[in-house]
Amino acid sequence: MHIEKPPSTTAEHHQHADESTLHGADDKPDGAGGSSRDGDVALQLVDTLIAGGFTEAEQRQTLRRIDCVLMPIMFVTNALQFMDKACLTGAAMFGVLTDLHLITLGYKGGKVVVDSSRYSYVSLIFYWGYLLGLLPGVYLSQKFPLGKYASIIAVLWGGVTVCTVAVHSYQGLLVQRFFLGVTEAGMAPAFSLITVMWYKRREQPLRYAIWYSATGMGVLIGTLLLYAIGQIKGPLAAWRYQFMIIGCITAVWGILLWFVLPDSPLTARFLSQRLKIVAVERLRYEQIGIENKTIKREQVREAFTDPKTYLYMVMVFAVSLTNGATSGFGSIIVQSFGYPPLKTVLLLGGAGATLFVSLIVCGTGAVYIHHSRSVFGMVSCLPVIAGAVMVWKSDWSTKTTPLWGFYLSSIFATTLVMVLTLMAANTAGHTKKAVTSGLVWAAFCASNGIAPLTVRTQEQDDHYPTAWAIILSMMSLTFVLMAFLRFYLLRLNKKKDQVKLVNHEEAARTAFMDMTDRENENFRYEA
């Protein structure tokens, strides 16, 4: 691993920027591959700038091609990643709870008490494995081609999912779920980097919403698929077929990713050489660069000392606690409203549809309304709060009220996406982006690693008060922190403007110098 020493002065940064941008590839040091050590890989293309620039039509054509290739790939991959988690929820309705003794019965005060702690541990251990795999995952996503890296991850987690068929004990399932988390850990940070690498900051919210909405569509389609698989009559239990089929589909998809997911705009086979340059050039004034494989210590330090990093982490941690009720225990909670097992599996699809619609609406709005990400983030907290109250305080003899409350609570993922888009848009410097992304996803894992413990089956008669009280408090905290982040980002912009207004000529030179948002005087934050 090569560690780059920090530059001694800001002036050196600008001098280096001028030299790297103005000199041709032939003037670079040997082995630089057309760019400097400090610079972005995009310098390999921008040294061959298009004479006379490019047209708006070419830019639209480039974006259209990028969308047509990347969005379906990222959507399907994320849907499969969520479906292997949904398998556990579906399996709960098809016998895994009794087959592997995940729920035990006891007596307390003369009453039969259902203890679901084993099921909770099986749900949460996935995220502790995810947390363990996150640091190497972030490092590998920085050092290796992203397309090939994503392909290998998908094949590995598909294989681990298939291994569930061979599990015959609670302890064995714990081991399988742990290693499933380890293998999946690198995908989310890789997708975050891919989104930043290909899209302008104003384009990112909708693209984040599209590929993350696969979690909603994964629930909707996945529940129908799991229901169909559950009807298979064979030598194996129905839940084993679920894991086997979903795992095989994932592994085959992972092999396909090797050939269809490009590593960067420079290697995209679906773009001509001219459109590759357009793909890079249209990101020039975003001041966030494309990709740099050098680990820079000063950027690691800045990621840990930037207050924004901790705001993102706290919000992601708070929002993700909702996942324990809506995902891990979703089928058990909905069934407790009074629905039979098979209908419960189908009804879970409504939560996916609700989430899908909310993500697309908020993602589209954030694209067309300037400085609106934080606003949509705050607004999306409100239906989750309302949904928690509906489930907790309504009369369950009327099944539809708590069911709709449960559907509304699934919108928490929209708030999560708004936080992720704020992080992506406001973090520059490739090493800083990778480290910040890793820290935020670590908060996501830690939260999900304890979230299932908030749902206590012995509280069913009281409508799970612990879970919904925590969700209410955490979503309210997120609302407040989102408002503070908005104020903070706009204040940072004002302070930068007071020092120096954006110099577009200079910005054209510094765009691919792999400078951080703090170092780059021409960088402005998106609220």
Q: How far apart are CA 13 and CA 402, in angstroms?
A: 58
Beta pairing class for 104-108 and 111-115? antiparallel
Identity at 455, one-letter amino acid code: V
- The segments of the chain whose pLDDT lies below 70 read 1-53, 106-110, 112, 285-293, 501-512
Which residues have a Cβ under 8 Å from the Cβ of 490 and sit 6 or more positions away?
371, 525, 527
pLDDT, position 404: 96
Q: How many residues does the chain have?
A: 527
Q: Are 325 and 385 a contacting pair, CB within 8 Å?
A: no
Q: 71 with 363: CB under 8 angstroms?
A: no
- Cα–Cα distance for residue pair 474/439, rounded to 1 Å: 19
Per-residue confidence (pLDDT) for residue 293, from 0 to 100: 66
Strands (DSSP E) contained in 66-154 are 104-108, 111-115
Which tokens go with 344?
A: 């419960």
Let me know the angle formed at the C-alpha of 377 by 373 and 381, rounded to the nearest 5 degrees: 170
Nearest to 70 by CA among 156, 147, 185, 151: 147
Tens of pLDDT, residue by residue over 399-447, are 999 999 999 999 999 999 999 999 988 998 888 988 998 899 899 989 9
Tokens of 315: 């919000």
> Torsions phi, psi of 199, nearest 5?
-125, 145
- Angle among Cα 229, 231, 237 to the nearest 5 degrees reads 80
DSSP string covering 46-75: HTTPPTT---HHHHHHHHHHHHHHHHHHHH
C-alpha span between 414 and 307 (Å, rounded): 23
Residues near 67 by Cβ (< 8 Å), separated by ≥ 6? Answer: 207
Task: Please choose, from the candidates 483, 487, 450, the residue with its C-alpha nearest in 3D space to the C-alpha of residue 466.
Answer: 450
Q: Which of 85, 96, 108 is nearest to 456 (CA)?
A: 108
Are 455 and 322 a contacting pair, CB within 8 Å? no
3-state secondary structure of 237: coil
Cβ contacts of 332-339, under 8 Å, gap ≥ 24: 332/92, 332/116, 332/119, 332/455, 332/457, 333/391, 333/406, 333/455, 333/464, 334/403, 334/406, 335/93, 336/396, 336/460, 337/396, 337/399, 337/402, 337/403, 337/406, 338/396, 338/399, 339/399
Q: Are 352 and 219 in contact (CB under 8 A)?
A: yes
- Give the separation between CA 42 and CA 141, rounded to whole angstroms: 17
Task: Kindly report the number of other CB atoms within 10 A of residue 228's CB atom.
Answer: 11
Q: Outline where 329-456 has alpha helix (H).
A: 330-336, 341-368, 373-393, 400-409, 412-425, 430-450
CA 215 – CA 325 distance, rounded (Å)? 15
CATH superfamily, domain 54-510, is MFS general substrate transporter like domains (1.20.1250.20)
The whole-angstrom separation of Cα 485 and Cα 279 is 31
C-alpha span between 142 and 436 (Å, rounded)? 12
DSSP codes of every residue in 2-42:
-EEPPPS-HHHHHHHHHHHHHS-GGGSPTTSTTS-SSS-TT
